[in-house]
Structure 1
């Protein structure tokens, strides 16, 4: 869903270094690191979520987000048809084979690759022999968290502008500067800074309102034109989608980067304004509001200053796979999830126990952590990939469930 390529420049690196000094200075003046505040406070003693400490004094024991579990703790573990999860696991193995931790994962991956027409029981036996389950736990000691859904929408578009195709889908602009802060300080891994040059200064990049008003030059980066601003807005939230062109062919748009501004939920905003109730604030409910209030739509969309840029990808004939996620492998419908990589390693199997969208019907199955998202923050937090099309969109738009998560790790990958 959300991934980006490092684009380091001298001025932005200097800005990152200055920001780092500011963060470390602030850290040194604080006697307690609030839970979940570590990314902004890497030098504090004992600076893990839930830990406290003063400079020069021993820290209290850090809270541990992973607690050892037994296979019997996983509800309905023996009922899941793991044959549906095996292809997604093999996709994770492809990515993990290129990473430093591959030796830890190699035995399980090679054994899985060697299975020939395996039964669900054989796959379950493999996982039980090669992995240890760990219960994901919040800083307050609870083990329940939010599970939302996302999907790959279908839009109508054209390669040339003309009614009704007047909404621009933008690629990454050439003046967008981006740096991985982990290159400056390892503790800031997975954090990225974005901006633009204004003279000899680096300033924040343009907001959504500035981009849509044309204050930012497109710089020849228009990929396509689509016919619906609301669908384009939700395409940016989902992170990827497909566009049907006038000749009937389709192309795929994948997340490439974003402008660095914070995400603001327009559904939450409508609830705060009293224009809808909390249970109405779904994707479907927001689209209904947009159709009923066309003259107020632009102001509502611009209340979210974040703007997403895309790249175009070809779709293979008969391709039933999803777009590439942050792990750089295709997502598998109903078997891939987005997670917070600060707490769940990308590529890892995760057993999810939740309920189906807007129901109490159990949804318990083995998933693969193959994606990330700017709104996916926290230990027990997941975004469930439903796949492509209207039915997937209906499920994703209604999904706001509570759930538990167990990450499965091979020996040596587990925390001490």
Structure 2
């Protein structure tokens, strides 16, 4: 639970927001320090600094005045690489053991509010360079027509062979696994020879995305309160193969991939910021409200065991469904456990964006 000092600080900030016209006019009003954040005493500050430093290295390559997003107060305080330059320089040179004191001295929280946190992950699936009975579905690279702005076929037409000989085939996979790989946008495909193929998003066919979970709810196949990635997978596994294939094809959107040879096996896929995502520490946000690159304190609970999650994460990614001030999508990593948590994650979350503290000495 939040401490009284933290709650009082939030009330002061929110009162200022109401007096000055809501979140867009949020005014600074002596916020509490990081030590008042719920769960801060248990935070692993050294682990939190790993993705923070990765963000710093990326921001150092950018135009100092390039906009990173954020609602007006956050944009003014944390919405440009220049706002982070001095703090990042100190973070990159920081000796081991000094992480907590550094964060407490150099950052202060701005409450964003309470919203919804979901989860995502990097799928890990088996594949074959030539198709077999268990891996019949090709995953395509981007066809030349996409670069030229040409009209591309929908999913059903592509699966029927409309792009054969036009779009390169990267690998063959199970049809359901391939479908969920397209939803996530990147993934790891293990080959029988022991190789690992890292696939990243390359583009789309331009057709609108239609959620098959919503279709199953509308048809009474899954109750609305029971919908999850696991529930959808269970329905697809139990359905006759023609019915499962027909449902997948009702989503006309199709994602193309490209190989990424540069990523290490211990790295996640790069997010919108261009930084490899860190399991449990990278967050997709709406940059209209939260600047990319900003540290964010989240308070929520684990979807499997209900334990509290109170942790410093980095706004390093965005997503088409991530819209709103306190709307986030937490990256859980790769493998079965990450998939289980991401598929069930749908919980209230309280968010605080941490910004450089004004007037603090380096």
Indicate the TM-score class for this superposition, using the shorter chain for normalisation.
0.7 to 0.9
**Counterpart in 1 of 2:50?**
87
Q: Does 2:109 align with 1:109?
A: no
Please say if residues 261 and 306 of structure 1, whose CA atoms lie closer than 8 Å, have aligned partners that are also in contact. Answer: yes
**Superposition TM-score, scaled by structure 1 size:** 0.71
Return closer, same or farther for 1:408/1:218 CA change in 2, 3 Å cut-off: farther
Which of the numbers 302, 308, 317 marks the counterpart of 1:356? 302
Query: Quick one: distance in 1 between partners of 2:178 and 2:26?
Result: 38
Cα deviation for residue 279 of structure 1 reads 3.8
Which of the numbers 140, 145, 170 marks the counterpart of 2:115? 145
Q: Does 2:39 align with 1:70?
A: no
Which of the numbers 130, 135, 143 marks the counterpart of 1:173? 143
**Counterpart in 1 of 2:8?**
none
Query: Quick one: distance in 1 between partners of 2:355 and 2:255?
Result: 33
Query: Quick one: distance in 2 between partners of 1:297 and 1:127?
Result: 50
Q: Does 2:120 align with 1:157?
A: no
Please say if residues 198 and 263 of structure 2, whose CA atoms lie closer than 8 Å, have aligned partners that are also in contact. Answer: no
**Counterpart in 2 of 1:339?**
285
Residue 175 of structure 1 aligns to a residue in which SS? helix
**Counterpart in 1 of 2:12?**
none
Residue deviations 1:66-113 (CA, integer Å, cap 9, x gap)? 665433663222321111111111110111112223322111111111
**Counterpart in 1 of 2:180?**
234
**Counterpart in 2 of 1:135?**
111
Residue 145 of structure 2 aligns to a residue in which SS? coil
**Uncovered stretches (5+) of structure 2, i.e. residues with no partner:** 1-19, 65-79
Query: Quick one: distance in 2 between partners of 1:73 and 1:236?
Result: 41
Query: Quick one: distance in 1 between partners of 2:158 and 2:91?
Result: 48
**Uncovered stretches (5+) of structure 1, i.e. residues with no partner:** 1-59, 137-142, 179-195, 198-202
Query: Quick one: distance in 2 between partners of 1:260 and 1:144?
Result: 33
Query: Quick one: distance in 2 between partners of 1:82 and 1:285?
Result: 36
Residue 64 of structure 1 aligns to a residue in which SS? helix
**Superposition TM-score, scaled by structure 2 size:** 0.81
Please say if residues 149 and 385 of structure 1, whose CA atoms lie closer than 8 Å, have aligned partners that are also in contact. Answer: yes
Please say if residues 48 and 313 of structure 2, whose CA atoms lie closer than 8 Å, have aligned partners that are also in contact. Answer: yes
Residue 242 of structure 1 aligns to a residue in which SS? strand
Q: Equivalences for 1:276-287 in 2 at 5 Å? A: 276-287=222-233
Residue deviations 1:175-207 (CA, integer Å, cap 9, x gap)? 1158xxxxxxxxxxxxxxxxx43xxxxx5x433
Q: Does 2:348 align with 1:385?
A: no
Please say if residues 142 and 167 of structure 2, whose CA atoms lie closer than 8 Å, have aligned partners that are also in contact. Answer: no
Please say if residues 358 and 400 of structure 1, whose CA atoms lie closer than 8 Å, have aligned partners that are also in contact. Answer: no
Which of the numbers 215, 222, 236 marks the counterpart of 2:162? 215
Cα deviation for residue 265 of structure 1 reads 2.1
Q: CA RMSD for the aligned pairs?
A: 2.3
Matched residue pairs, number? 319
Q: Equivalences for 1:222-261 in 2 at 5 Å? A: 222-226=169-173, 228-261=174-207
